[in-house]
Amino acid sequence: MLDLNIKKMLEGNKVAGIRQVSRGIRKGAISLVLIADDTDAEIKRQLLQLASANNVPIITCESRTELGAEINIEKPCSAVGFLRNQ
């Protein structure tokens, strides 16, 4: 289960999925990434590298199923990116 502070963040503006999160990081729009620990190793490596290169912190959670449930979608989700306040 995710920390209460993260749960509060989940109510804010976010994007879900590897492509959307990667695109947001490249545009400088993402302030924090949650990634599921059971994401494909190569995809996870690439996202970690992209986030690190752009100084975006990453928090891991246990599973894609858990992450999907936490953001109220009915299917597994590999990554969630929180949008910067504008």
What residues have CB less than 8 Å from 30, skipping those under 6 apart?
A: 15, 21, 24, 51, 54, 56, 81, 82, 83, 84
Tokens of 26: 């490249």
Average pLDDT per consecutive 10 residues, the chain (86 residues; last block may be shorter): 55 88 97 95 96 95 91 91 83
- Give the chain's radius of gyration (CA, Å): 12
pLDDT score of 4? 47
**Domains with residue ranges and CATH for the chain:** 4-83 (3.30.1330.30)
pLDDT score of 3? 55
